[in-house]
A and B are shown apart, each in its own frame.
Chain A
Amino acid sequence: MEDYKKHSVLSYLKLIFSLDKRLIGVLFINVISSLTWNLLPIGILAYMTKIYQKNPTKEGFQMVFWIILANTIYHLIYAVIIHLIDYEMDSRVSRRIEYKLSTLLYSKLDEVDYEVYQSNDFLNHYEKALDDGASYMFGTYWSFTEIIEELVQILSVGTIFALISPWIILYVFVVGILTAVIFRITTKISWLVSEKNAQHFRERGYIKRLFFLKDASIDLKSTTLSDLYLDMNSEIGDKIIGNIRHDFSKRAILNVLGGIATESIIAVALSLIAFTTMKNNNIVILASLVAAASTLADIVTGLTSSIARFKENVIRRFDVYRVLDQPCVLEKEGTINTLPDFKEITFDHVHFSYQANEEKTLNDISFRIEQGQKIAIVGENGAGKTTLVRLFLKLIEPTEGAIFYNQIPYKDIQVKTIRKTYATVFQNYQIYSFSVAENILLKKLETKDEEIKVIEALKKVGLWEKISHLEKGINTICTKEFDKDGVEFSGGERQKLVIARVFVSSAPILILDEPNSALDPLAEKHIFDEIFSYAIDKTLIFISHRFSTTIHADKIYLFEQGSILEQGTHHELMLKNGEYKRMFMTQAEKYQEEAE
């Protein structure tokens, strides 16, 4: 928790108020409203009994009547104002906070280095901040308002009492200190328990997700897996209950003591009021004093629970700050934002390891890729191929060595600028709930020209047949998530759709990371032919553990355990009779047999 000391409650409140300026006005009006609600009746009561005491006749009643009428009119006006604000508050401001916060968080994501994602923690915090951050902010704001309201009220009621019976104020003060002490202890207990249970909640969350995870459903149905997790879930539940039983009994007793202290205020106040009135024989203010005492007791009780709620909400600010504080290095590095035409990419003795002291993922990699070349990068799983893609895109930075675009070091170029020079199909490609055209362009479809491009691309990957038969054509929404007329794609079709992105891109370098894993052989061959003829002037980097891409490549790099083991054209490498040939033959063997 120490790291987060720098984010005081005050700066958090500032952040909340900065998300929507109207909150200040709403706070102000709420304070006035609470005074109206709780203090006005006491004043009126005192005033009316005073009139009665002095003048218990028709005349006196007339005066009382005007007071009642004025009070009613005031309340009617007040009701209108409060309604307008309350509703603004309830239904719109909270949503606005939510919207503003998510915009803030989304922009933050742009700045966070890719490496940070690799730690599960960051995304967990991010999810929390995004899911609950706004409601905790709103809760903080709301309980803060209540505290202010209650403090203002205590001050005003307190002043009245201080004039008449200062002992009551003293008693309230003592109770206040006592409850504050109790409160400190109980929040500590609550915090400890929630820390203890956080792990169990995480486990429970995973199990719940599992039970509605599509890909797990078949295992759950057809193996004994479900019993394993049902047992586990019950055990986790027992642990949570155990922690609560152990620690909460102490908390509850303390809270009961605190409650008795605050609620005794009314009894003490009543006794003192009765005593002073009887001594001074002054019945006039009796009624209003009693009413004030009961209001005071209510407000003090209210204050303790508002503070509790405030604490509960405000402690969660760290979820948001953990995200906002995430330092960004790589994403902000470099100043160059325009690049000359692409000529070459150079890797100069590049080393990379994901964590210090860990085995290197890439070890002393040097190569040069020139404009127009077709490159195949092959190797076993874990050879470092995907890490290489990340380096190309400046998602990560070499631990040693350097990368150059033409002669410009990567270090000096802004990430956005570098990434624009690539069109990439990732191994874990995704389809979004946008239209088909938007999924290919990854922007809104705006011009006729773009439309033609999209159709052209669809034809090349062999999806045009399917799309053209849809009622809305390329404007059909992908997936049925938001549109029941949406189009669903099979695994192979999804991959084709993603490959279509390459055909509309103007980037000079294309990277395809395992682009063919879900394609049937005929589609695979067809699409490869299309890519090769499309990319005739472009630079093409194929990454694969299949060797079907390698024969036509200008240069092949065979990776093994983070190093380049062999390089050259297919022909050269076959002649070399090394690892490449061995691997190629394992895969080709069955096909070769037939050819012979």
Chain B
Amino acid sequence: MFEPTSHEANLLARASVDQCVKCTICETQCPVMAVTPLFAGPKFVGPQAERFRHGESVDHTLDYCSSCGTCTLVCPQGVKIAELNSVARAAMKRDHMPPRDRLISRTTLMGQAMRPIAPLANAALRAAPVRVLAEKIAGIHRDAAMPVSSGQPFHAWWAKHQPAPTAGPAGTVIFFHGCAGDYFEVATSIQAVEVLERLGFNVLVPKQGCCGMALQSNGLYDTARAWVRRLVADLEKAPQDLVIVSTAGSCQGMLKHEAREIMGVEDESLQAIGTRTRDICEFLLEKIEAGQLNFGVKRLDVTVTYHAPCQLKGQGMGQPAVELLRLIPGVTVVESGATCCGIAGTYGFKKEKYEIAKAVGQPLFDKVKEVNPKLALCDTETCRWQIRQHTGAQVEHPIYLLHKALGLS
């Protein structure tokens, strides 16, 4: 048996190495390589270095890869470049995992710890001396965007929620909000439920934990595997013939493919859950295009930048939010055209990567400021924090506009 994080164990990604024809398309799109020479690039540290690894780490610039996944997305040959690099980095960090990386990857822990003392915790994370201390001790950059805890978590709202009278005729769906959607981006989760109910769906929300995404991106695979399996078990408690609809743009990707393709979780239950999982915009658009939804929306005169996060693009479904929002009369959606916002999960929080993450996101920040400096849209939580931090704009999940167009806010 191989070590679970060993390169040998990562056969799925390794099998794709020989597909690489060294065409360099991944390098042309890598957002990190574009702004710093510190990262030797996805092809170099990926398919090329992989041949020399045999259990050893041969290129340490790999640490500067943000795991945004753009390389895999754009590869015309199907090489799992990002997956290879993720595993190689996990192996590289194995014996000297910074305590910081263990800390910031526990989203639920942060949410739970901050919630009872939300005003205090939020204030502390805004206070300069606290942040300087955090940078010195923990290596979390003093200016990095920190989540804002919402006093009331989504699950508390849900416990008191009465279904809208419109819910039911379109069928029943399971709602997956992710842990950031429970503790930090609570409004998004509430809007999603209200939109689904208005459009006729009966919504179920099983108790659900964290998918382990942040642990995975920091190379803490063992815990991440346990967490994603626990989440699968949570979601399985709801009826197993229902679609799982999600506003957690990256966590849904963990269920759909990342747990298997990066961490090698081979599990029929996971696969069954992944097959039923849909992004909320993907789900609604498919229903509308199939003529199965009565989509009565009012006019909204707004021009807004939409940024498709890397981990949403990585699901290979196009940009359903763009198509969906364009069905609302008066709405002009401007695609950001940017590869990545820079944050890449927890990458941009780190002291040594903060400036790189900012440079990666700069074209996006400029676009937001140019198109509509007040409002922008993006499907994942940490990306929204990053865009808010660097533009000052209100940044919302795309469902926010649909919620408005349906007259719900």
Chain B associates with chain A: no
Question: B-side interface residues toward A, CB under 8 Å?
Answer: none
